[in-house]
């Protein structure tokens, strides 16, 4: 690590002769900082967040130095390009047991492997590759919950696989229901959890066939889904996400009355489109979080990850067979993807403003642009054996493991490393605002 030449101004020269202790103190300080570089926001020396027992091939030493230097940078992590990364992947389907069968693309015969060998490069800074030892040190003694649908679970399983290079968790779930799992990393007292809530609000399936044979759901857009809202108060971090279930037919209820629907084809019920339900669902979910009396955690909105069906809809023969990422100038966010993205971000900003009044923190984990460029990262037909007699469509919604979704942990770790300064600034703003109110 190169240190920039530093010029120290001590005022009057003669004071140095009179105070040799000052000279010794300055020399000692420079030597100390040279030998033990600090992560200034974490207040951890580098050797505390580096696991020396890990094989060196797992980490790029340049990434560690980049990480130490990039924490103070204010570049947009989420605007960039995918660049080749020959060192990936950092785990395999044989070294990680957490991979869901339908995302285990290599097991089920996917013939290409280049989709695993890319990394995200922001335009104006560097995003270090995920370092599991650093992550576990940062979250020591804390807890993180994924709240949402199966793409959120996909993200959690990716994180477990990335962390498996340091430690595997033990199952501490309070229920045998696979939709509500909890895992604990015993050496770090760190807990991971997933809460299944595909629509974020209270809902139930009204007709398992429905207008297009994918089910018809009743959504109570102004009612909390207590399956998760009563469970998350204790968590230090929440990652909220939802999206693809809103494409299905739905009947919308507010104040216990039908107010409209999305493609329900019911007489005298107005079609309000899926965007109406999507926006209202996020509004209610954020309202639930802001209403928690003892919640002091950080809420991340993980933005919508577009699907990549081509030559047909998901249930009409559509598939995703590309083998390389798009460049950012080859595709743009538009139509349904743009509408969904804007709806959730607008509701996020409103909730963030309201939450600040209580000292709550909201963060935007904006994965949309990066994932829009990855049509090559889905399981497609490689989520089951070809000869299996199962009714499964080509999967262009979830992500192969290993695969592009692993980059979400790169984003998350870098955001956590930047959190110290940002939280401190927001706390000062909050306290200042309260003082003004008192006056």
Active site residues: 150, 395, 398
219, β-bridge pairs: 203, 252
Cis peptide before 73 (omega within 30 of 0): no
Positive or negative torsion for Cα 75, 279, 374, 60: positive
Helix spans in 8-60 (H): 14-18, 20-35
Give the integer Cα–Cα distance in Å for 122 and 102: 30
Within 8 A by CB and 6+ apart from 135, the residues are 162, 163, 409, 412, 413, 416
Residue 366, both tokens:
């904006």
CB 183 within 8 A of CB 174: no
Element (H, E) at 428: helix 407-438
CB 111 within 8 A of CB 66: no
CB 165 within 8 A of CB 132: yes
Q: Does residue 294 come out as left (phi exceeding 0), alpha (psi in the -120 to 50 range) or beta?
A: alpha
Give the integer Cα–Cα distance in Å for 70 and 126: 7
Give the integer Cα–Cα distance in Å for 371 and 82: 10
Residue 58, both tokens:
């797992």
DSSP string, 143-168: EEEEEESHHHHHHHHHHHHHHTTT--
Within 8 A by CB and 6+ apart from 20, the residues are none
CB 266 within 8 A of CB 172: no
Cβ atoms within 10 Å, residue 255: 9
Q: Does residue 104 come out as left (phi exceeding 0), alpha (psi in the -120 to 50 range) or beta?
A: beta
């Amino acid at each position: 690590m190169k240190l920039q030449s530093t010029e120290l101004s001590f005022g009057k020269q003669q004071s140095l002769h009179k105070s040799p202790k000052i000279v010794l103190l300055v020399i000692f300080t420079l030597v100390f900082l040279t030998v033990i570089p600090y992560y200034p926001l974490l207040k951890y020396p580098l050797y505390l967040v580096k696991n020396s027992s890990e094989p060196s091939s797992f980490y790029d030493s340049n990434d560690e130095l980049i990480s130490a230097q990039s924490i103070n940078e204010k570049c947009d992590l989420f605007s960039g390009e995918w660049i080749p990364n020959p060192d990936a992947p950092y785990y395999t389907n044989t070294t990680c047991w957490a991979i869901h069968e339908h995302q285990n693309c290599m097991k089920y015969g996917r013939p290409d492997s280049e989709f695993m060998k890319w990394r995200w490069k922001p335009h104006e800074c560097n995003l270090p590759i995920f370092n599991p030892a650093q992550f576990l040190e940062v979250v020591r003694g804390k807890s993180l919950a994924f709240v949402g649908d199966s793409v959120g679970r996909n993200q959690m399983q990716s994180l477990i696989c990335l962390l498996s290079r340091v430690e595997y968790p033990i199952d501490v779930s309070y229920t045998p229901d696979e939709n509500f799992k909890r895992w604990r990393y015993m050496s770090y007292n760190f807990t991971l959890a997933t809460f299944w809530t595909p629509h974020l609000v209270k809902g139930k399936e009204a007709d398992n066939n429905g207008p297009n044979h994918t089910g018809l759901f009743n959504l109570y857009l102004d009612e909390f889904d207590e399956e998760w809202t009563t469970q998350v108060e204790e968590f230090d971090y929440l990652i909220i996400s939802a999206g693809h279930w809103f494409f299905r037919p739905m009947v919308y209820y507010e104040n216990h009355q039908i107010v409209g629907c999305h493609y329900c084809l019911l007489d005298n019920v107005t079609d309000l489109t899926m965007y109406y339900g999507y926006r209202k669902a996020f509004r209610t979910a954020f309202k639930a979080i802001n209403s928690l009396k003892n919640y002091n955690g950080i809420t991340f909105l993980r933005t919508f990850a577009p699907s990549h069906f081509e030559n047909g809809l998901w249930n009409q023969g559509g598939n995703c067979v590309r083998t390389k990422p798009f460049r950012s100038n080859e595709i743009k966010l538009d139509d349904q993807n743009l509408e969904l993205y804007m709806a959730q971000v607008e509701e996020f900003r409103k909730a963030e403003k309201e939450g600040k009044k209580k000292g709550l923190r909201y963060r935007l984990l904006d994965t949309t642009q990066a994932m829009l460029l990855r049509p090559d990262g889905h399981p497609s037909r490689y989520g089951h054996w070809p000869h299996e007699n199962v009714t499964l469509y080509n999967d262009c919604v979830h992500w192969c493991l290993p695969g592009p979704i692993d980059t979400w942990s790169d984003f998350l770790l870098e955001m956590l490393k930047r959190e110290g300064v940002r939280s401190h600034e927001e706390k000062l703003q909050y306290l200042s605002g309260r003082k003004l109110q008192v006056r």
